[in-house]
Copies of this chain bind each other. A is one copy, B any other.
Amino acid sequence: MEKAAAKAPERRRGEALVRAIHEAALAELAEVGLGQLSMEGIARRASTAKTVLYRRWATPHELLVDAVAQAHPVEVPTPAADDLRADLIAALTVLTDWMRTPAANAVLAIMFERHRYPDLAEALYRDVFDPRGGTFTTTVLRHYAANGGLDPRRLTPITTQIGEAMVFKLSMDLGRFPTADELAAIVDEAILPALGFPPA
């Protein structure tokens, strides 16, 4: 034992261990995809034994939902200034920041394959979405509609989704996340016109 001092045992327990496993699960998902997620893979990545995983979760999917639910919640965009345009850009920036996180990757993967794993999507709604409120641009829009800066009739299931929809679409098409300029263009050319502010 006194020989290999480099290898500190430092055995993890309880919450610290669970957190490490959650991280490993999200990282594993990002790398191999939802269809290839396996207990073996997660255990390997977390440097622990399968046994430890099976003592807490019955399936990789169960583990995954747990990991997403425990992940840090999304930063809520707080409409500060009396500047709808700036607040919308800020909200989309929060969105792209979130999309870079492992948890977001998992959420999107689950939503995309929801017809293949309906239980997973259902658990996601139950354990993650429902406990939290709306997100991103919707928060901003509701604020301005309530404070008179915006015609409330312009808030529809369509208009409130334009920002998110465009960010997702651009990300897919370009294979990268939108830049600040592109986010501004989304606000100027798509969202604001739909809210009743015609393009320049």
A interface list, Cβ under 8 A from B: 31-36, 111-116, 121, 154, 156-159, 161-162, 164-166, 168-170, 172-173, 175, 182, 185-186, 189-190, 193-194, 196, 198-199
Q: What's the number of copies of this chain in the assembled complex?
A: 2
> A33-B113, A159-B189 are known contacts; what are 5 more A-B pairs with Cβ within 8 Å?
A112-B172, A156-B185, A162-B162, A162-B165, A193-B198
Q: Within the assembled complex, what's the spacing in Å between the Cα atoms of A33 and B115?
A: 10
Taking a contact as CB atoms under 8 Å apart, the answer to whether B190 and A159 are in contact is yes
B189-A156 in contact (CB<8A): yes
* Bound-complex Cα distance A32 to B113 (A): 10
Quote the shortest CB–CB distance from A198 to chain B (angstroms): 5
Nearest first, the 9 closest Cβ-Cβ pairs linking A and B are A35-B35, A165-B169, A193-B193, A165-B165, A33-B35, A158-B189, A35-B36, A193-B194, A165-B166
| Interface contact B162-A166, CB-CB below 8 Å | yes
> What residue of chain B has the Cβ atom nearest to residue A161's Cβ?
B169
Contact of A166 among B31, B161, B185 (CB under 8 A): B161
Verify A173–B196 contact, CB threshold 8 A.
no
Contacts of A116 in B (CB 8 A): 31-33
> Chain A binding site: helix, strand, loop or mixed by DSSP?
helix
Q: Specify which chain B residues have a CB less than 8 angstroms from the CB of A157 in the assembled complex.
A: 185
Neighbouring B residues of A186 by C-beta, 8 Å: 158
* A165, closest chain B residue (CB): B169
Query: Nearest Cβ in chain B — how far from A10, in angstroms?
Result: 33
Known: A35-B35, A158-B189, A194-B194. A169 touches B172 (CB 8 A): no
Residues of B within 8 A of A114 (CB): 172, 175
Is there contact, CB below 8 Å, between B36 and A175? no
**Cα distance A154–B190 when bound, in Å?**
11
Cα distance A13–B111 in the bound complex, in angstroms: 40
Most B CB atoms within 10 A — which of A34, A121, A165, A186?
A165
Q: Which residues of chain B are within 8 angstroms of A182 by Cβ–Cβ distance? A: 158
